[in-house]
Amino acid sequence: MPVIQVSQLNIYPIKSTAGILLNQAQVKPLGLTYDRRWMLVNNEGHFITGRQYPQLTQIRTQIEHEQLIVNAPNMPQLHVPLNLQTTATQPVKVWRDHCTATSMPQEINQWFSGYLGIDCQLVHMSEDYIRATDRQYSQDGDRVSFADGFPLLLISEASLDDLNQKLQNPVTMVNFRPNIVVSGCDAFTEDHWTHFRIGNIAFEGVKGCSRCIFTTVNPITGTFDPTREPLKTLSTFRRRPEGGVFFGQNLIPRSQGIIQVGDKIEL
């Protein structure tokens, strides 16, 4: 029997920007540490993503010396403190959720405004803030960061391989922005994983991930694919009766601790 195991771990500290590949990660109620804890908003406090500004995918981050180090094409390097000492907050909106976020200094906001060419602000979600997940798919007390709806996203390598067999130009996992990638299982079997463990950490698979135009952003160029791939092909065989095109499984952690690349999955 093949061994199902973790083959890749990713975090995306600023929503819609490039991910950071990890060998191990800390699992907390909000998901992986530092994942989608920062987000850009417009002057009305509404969230900004790669759906409107695909060039966000060209912003790269790294975490060193208690700082989030940010780089982007033709921009000076930016340093954002991981634990900013401030009490300044502001109301923000993520989809239908109204949240309270920590405000960043003006020089940080000016950097992002200069890169995108619009007035915008970077905001942060504190570790103790409660943004509830969708009650239809979760339990009382379940929380999520600035991710779209759930703390974690898992996709199998086999599912991507199956999709790529149908595409003229193959894509990579970067198009789908998972936190956890697994190997050793059949394509799309993760759709049915409800309760399982990675190493010693328990997870619940709660809902398939409905995909949008963001999957059509070329992660190398930061531009939309004019053919709308891979979403166009996904829609031919991954559309569900309830509406939407699904790829990947949303997870809620049921315990806390460290997971690592190579950890086995116990279903």
Q: What is the pTM of this model?
A: 0.97
**For 61, which DSSP code?**
E
pLDDT at residue 1 tops 80 = no
Structural domain including 100 reads 5-266
Beta bridge partners of 100: 91
CB 147 within 8 A of CB 15: yes
User: What's the longest Cα–Cα distance across the chain?
Assistant: 56
- DSSP per-residue codes, 95-110: TTEEEEEEEPPHHHHH
pLDDT in tens, 154-203: 999 999 999 999 999 999 999 999 999 999 999 999 999 999 999 999 99
What is the mean predicted confidence (pLDDT) over 25-49? Answer: 98
CATH number for the domain including 115?
2.40.33.20
What is the mean predicted confidence (pLDDT) over 86-115? Answer: 97
Cis status, amide bond into 230, omega within 30 of 0: yes
Q: The tokens of 161 are what? A: 């391989």
Closest CA to 122 of 81, 152, 75, 153: 81
pLDDT-derived band at 243 (thresholds 50, 70, 90) equals confident
**What's the number of domains the chain is made of?**
1
